[in-house]
Chains A and B, each alone.
Chain A
Amino acid sequence: MGLFRFERRTRGGFIYMYLAKLWGRLFFGPKVTEPAETFLGDKNDELEKAGEELAAVVKDLYGGRSLRIRAVDGGSTNAEEIELTALGNAYYDIERFGLSFVAAPRHADMLFVTGPVTRNLERAVKTTYEAAPHPCIVVAVGDGACTGGIWNGSYAVVGAVENVIPVHVKIPGDPPTPADIIRGVLHALKNRN
């Protein structure tokens, strides 16, 4: 409904009114969100610490805090994808550690592969790895990607991502939480050093 009204208003030429109202609410209106400390407690510190450390390691590895990630779905249940999406929201905000998702493997430094690689997507996983410029770190996200999970041995899947492309990091969990993912990336990068 709200969207619909906005559409009508902009068509009617009231976009400046709309902008004025929006900015008024944004800058002068009451705060509707709680400060992070009230509901996070010390849980946040852990994440923060892992993130800071990750940033430092990325800096060592690439000479700076920039790591571009391409996510590849190898036939997952999409549980992992939801967690990966959560990495970008205001709570986890992966960007502040210098990590970002990109639109093509050509731009990527790191691949996140999810799901037990199904036979249909085996080629996709392989070509995405080949298409990315090397050095490229491959992270298997979730139980399916690490071991094949409950689908292991099925005729429809190839199994763990390892069976298709070299894997540098495994992050278990079904699905792993965003904090797990950040920690897993950090751990693996450290070990690689």
Chain B
Amino acid sequence: MNPFILTAIQAVTVLALAPFATGLVRWCKARLQGRKGASPLLPYVSYATLLKKEMVISPVASWVFHVAPFVVLASSVFATLALPLVASDGAFAGLGNFILIASTLSLGSVFLVLGGLDPGSAFGGMGSSRELTLAALVEPSVIAVFAAFSVVSGGSTVSQMLAAAGMGVLAHPGLFLTLIGFVFVLLAENARYPVDNPATHLELTMVHEAMVLEYSGPYLAMLEYASSLKLTLFSLLLANFVLPAPLASTGAGPAMALAAVLGAVAKVGVAAALLALLESSMAKMRFYRMQEYMTIAFLAAFGGLVLVLV
């Protein structure tokens, strides 16, 4: 199959799946709390509603406020195009270098932070300060996690890492620690428990939500969609590292592509259910204990890297 078609399939699948992932986590959490919960499809409707609403923007806000949603969403879309989520070798697989992807996502975080600070509200400042601290401290773990995969597979793009044979946890037990490190990174990057409470209405405990408090209408839809997309892409990436199949590739036919799309849906479903279970079982950590969390994340990731090397 043409790599461009593969990339298109992947982009459409992941972009379409993103709101579902967020909705599914919420739905699973509601079920675990004994509630019926909102339909997992609610985020689609919410985003559509937001797109139709007017925007209320503070006179304090400058050009940064208008630029931020585009850069934030673009960074996630960039990663969606370059990473092997549904297709193993899309047209932009060469750009799936882990450092480039990590830095591009960092660029998105930075602009989210800037957008939070721009209207001059104290909540935004608080959320921004915390988000930026987390983004800064999680960076070494991200590098260590992918370095371990890179060492084992001998490749530097995520596609090469997945394509390499003998990548399993059984062949390299050290990768188990790396995967734990990756889960820590996933939770921190996506502002989930125990780093952040995605459902909180209490400004003092917010991280991600506090930054988008000033956004409304289409911009809010873009930012919320971007965070859904990021969650989806991290879940798929984790799932692919655990089970790098079924993935569509240039050598495969339409049946394989269909299997890959269905596989992606299943992977997102499992990841969302596990995430909901995890979030229902533990409390959010105090922000000033984040150094402990980050230290554990780094030790896990780094330990994995050391184990695969020796």
Contacts and interface: CB of A to CB of B under 8 A. Distances in A.
Interface string A22-34: 1100100000010
Given A95-B37, A133-B56, A64 B48 contact: yes
A22 B278 CA distance: 11
Contact of A104 (B32, B214, B281, B282): B214
A106 B46 contact: no
B42 interface: yes
A98 interface: yes
B139 interface: no
A103 B200 contact: yes
Given A63-B48, A64-B48, A107-B220, A95 B38 contact: yes
Contacts of A19: 281-282
Given A19-B281, A134-B54, A90 B33 contact: yes
B246 interface: no
Given A23-B277, A107-B216, A107-B220, A68 B34 contact: no
Given A95-B38, A96-B30, 20 more contacts: A15-B282, A22-B281, A23-B277, A33-B34, A64-B49, A65-B39, A65-B45, A66-B42, A90-B33, A93-B36, A95-B30, A95-B35, A96-B38, A101-B201, A103-B206, A103-B213, A104-B214, A106-B56, A109-B53, A133-B55
Interface of B: 26, 30, 32-39, 42, 44-46, 48-49, 52-56, 200-201, 203, 206, 209, 213-217, 220, 277, 281-282
B42 A65 contact: yes
Contacts of B282: 15, 19
Interface residues of A, number: 31
Contact of A106 (B32, B34, B203, B214): B214
7 contacts: A19-B282, A90-B35, A96-B36, A106-B215, A106-B216, A107-B216, A133-B54
Contacts of B55: 133
A39 to B, nearest CB: 14
A61 B55 CA distance: 19
Contacts of A103: 200-201, 203, 206, 209, 213
Shortest beta-carbon contacts, A-B, top 10: A64-B45, A106-B216, A104-B213, A66-B46, A66-B45, A96-B36, A95-B38, A93-B35, A90-B34, A103-B201
A36 to B, nearest CB: 10
Given A19-B281, A22-B281, A95-B30, A131 B35 contact: no
A64 B53 CA distance: 13
Nearest to B43: A66
A102 interface: yes
Contacts of A22: 281
B292 to A, nearest CB: 10
Contacts of B220: 106-107
